[in-house]
Chains A and B, each alone.
Chain A
Amino acid sequence: MNAEPHLTAPNGIRYVAKNLRLDLRLIAGMIAPDSRVLDIGSGDGTLIAHLARERGCDARGIEIDMAEVAETVARGLAVMHGDADIDLAHYPDQAFDYVVLSRTLQAVERPREVLRQMLRIGAHAVVSFPNFGHWRVRWQLFSRGRMPLTPAWDRPWYETPNIHPCTIRDFFALCAAEGYRVESWLAADQAGMRAPWRRASRLANLFGEQGVFVLQRTPNVRKDRPA
């Protein structure tokens, strides 16, 4: 008997696998030391453990998978067993300096609402997602006429948890539409190594396997747009 059955839906297909170590390094590098951080989809707590230990952050997590939550709690970290689509609404305004969503935006039910919530409860949102505009994805769709299967998009269409794929340029467009300031961004390869096309979003969109963005909610400030 369950009040909110979504929590007990079969897990494991909810989030894409994370290449934590390098991805983590990229994201951790974008977060100021000693800040308050909420990691949405915190997995086994690797990122928040790193932030707490190495950067003196008050880092917390939200995770949907019970075993991962238990693991995180066992590491002495604060984590909420819950669902980003629902639980973010229950956090107070500006409770955190950074709210992190790593390779999960494409898997949530309502990405736009999740972004709004992130920038309501945090001063900055750090978002990473696999880039659907990568040349390999484009080439597979173009040459075979089938849904692409790549290291970043590795499940067939009928069982992928990634229900909202987007490209780096799509994400810029969404930020512009929502009035979010892109404080910094970069493209990276699958392993999380920074790609060299930093200021050329069209190239980044073609060659970057994932995008990492830091956003701020300051509607009246200049908006970064794709080149």
Chain B
Amino acid sequence: MIIADPRPLLAHQSARFEDGLLLDCGVELRELTVAYRTYGRLNRDRTNAVLVCHALTGDQYVAETHPLTGKPGWWEAVVGPGKPVDTERFFVIAANVLGGCMGSTGPLSIRDDHQPESGRVLPWGTDFPPVTIRDMVRAQKRLIEHLGIARLFSVLGGSMGGMQVLEWAALYPDCVFSAVPIAAAAYHTAQNIAFHEVGRQAIFADPDWEGGRYWERGKVPARGLAVARMAAHITYLSEQALTRKFGRRLRSGPSLTLFDDLFEVESYLRHQGSTFVSRFDANSYLSITRAMDFFDLAAEHGGDLAHAFAGSRTRFCVISFSSDWLFPTAQSRAIARALNRAAANVSFVEVESDKGHDAFLLDEPAFHRTLSGFLSGSAAAAGL
């Protein structure tokens, strides 16, 4: 028996679709599993459903204690009773993305194309077909149908979650009453791809990666994945945020040594790296970073982003953060302008924040006020 996933075995709530999913790359997954969580109650008319899309390393555990880490859900600042996405009012759905490692079909899933004669059951690993943001959205659409919901009141998410929001609005405009792409972009820039490539190379460089078949020996490329996470984590913050949190402080008294004395920022990053390894699969990381790199919504619609939203009746609220240099305001403004060109109903806000890209996850009152106001206004318009 091969242990594909050295993490503790968890039973994730999930929906299984026996008819599979045809991917953008042309491969057909024979079966599709979408792991998900829901919060709040679906109303009788099934009109109060809100889909929360997670970012690269997020998952479906949005507003509850995470089963692996024991930490609070990643968006408890935003989703919950009385929060901007009020679970007393809305039925919140969060799914693990296709390619993820928290129960949805991904590199850890048992491969369905062929099995060797030995009869061994093998996971996909690096052979998992490349997926796109659009594939992720198609998988989520299956889940929404499975839950008996014809139209989502709102789809929202930050970073890669925001990419999914845009794809939802473009792919299923009639199923999305309102959409909130946060700290997002309509395509991954060369800089974004470059940072991802650094992370991927760190994983490849780890001797335990074993060409992607690390699971065969029950190993994980822990060092490589941790370095990937450390590098990425820097891009989620801002210089001001790092300075405010750590400055040049040392963990112990000042003395000039090469490696002993740790700057606080170093130990913070190391901690981020090592905890990440205990909850994330390296092949999933490769798969999802690639999906983000492939993303270019305008290219899917003849090169003009406005075409992606032609005739859309969805209400949009595009939100960016002033200190986000990974998905800078200019990207969000470009989305808002394209929506304007498509004559869509769009609001755009650049929230003043010094917290960088991660601001969307943190306590940022102006952001929360904007989001809850937009949802309330939209709810009134939807007759909720």
A residues touching B (Cβ–Cβ < 8 Å)? 1-4, 7-8, 60, 66-67, 69-82, 87, 90-92, 95
A66→B351 contact, CB < 8 A: yes
In the bound complex, residues from chain A placing their C-beta under 8 Å from that of B330 are 3-4
Are the C-beta atoms of B377 and A76 separated by less than 8 Å? yes
CA distance A4 to B333 in the complex (A): 10
CB–CB A1/B376 < 8 A? no
Chain B residues within an 8 Å CB radius of A91: 340-341
A77 cross-chain contacts in B, Cβ below 8 A? 347, 377
Contacts of B315 in A (CB 8 A): 78
**C-alpha gap A14/B341 in the complex (Å):** 27
Decide: A73 near B323, CB < 8 A? Known: A3-B329, A81-B348, A90-B341: no
For chain B residues 195-248, which have a beta carbon within 8 Å of chain A?
238-239
Give the distance to chain A from B373, nearest Cβ to Cβ, in Å: 2
Pick the contact of A2 from B322, B336, B341 — CB < 8 Å?
B322
The docked-state distance in angstroms from the alpha carbon of A77 to that of B376 is 11
A80 to B319, CA, bound (A): 10
Nearest Cβ on chain B to A83's Cβ, whole angstroms: 11
Say yes or no: A80-B350 contact (C-beta < 8 A), given A74-B373, A91-B340: no
Chain B 362-384 per-residue mask, 1 if CB under 8 angstroms from chain A, else 0: 00001001101110111011000
Which residues of chain B have C-beta atoms less than 8 A from A73's C-beta?
Answer: 317, 347, 349, 370, 373-374, 377
Q: Does more than half of chain A's interface fall in helix, strand or loop, or is it mixed?
A: mixed
12 interchain pairs, CB-CB under 8 A: A1-B325, A3-B329, A70-B370, A72-B347, A73-B347, A73-B370, A73-B374, A74-B370, A74-B374, A78-B346, A81-B349, A92-B340
- In the assembled complex, B337 has its CB within 8 A of some CB on chain A: yes
- Given A3-B330, A76-B377, A78-B347 in contact, is the A90-B337 Cβ separation under 8 Å? yes
- Nearest CB in chain A: distance from B182 CB, A: 13
Give 10 A-B pairs besides A69-B347, A73-B370, A79-B348 with Cβ atoms closer than 8 angstroms: A1-B328, A7-B329, A70-B366, A71-B373, A73-B317, A73-B347, A74-B370, A75-B373, A90-B340, A90-B341
Tell me how many residues of B have a C-beta within 8 Å of chain A: 35
Residue contact A78 to B345, C-beta cutoff 8 Å: yes
Whose C-beta in chain B lies nearest to the C-beta of A5?
B322
- Determine if A1 and B238 form an interchain contact, defined as CB atoms under 8 angstroms apart: yes
Expressed in whole angstroms, the Cα–Cα distance for A21 and B369 within the complex equals 25
- CB-based contact B348/A82 at 8 Å: yes
Asked if B352 CB lies within 8 Å of chain A CBs, one says yes
A32 to chain B, nearest CB (A): 19
Q: Are A3 and B328 in contact, CB atoms less than 8 angstroms apart?
A: yes
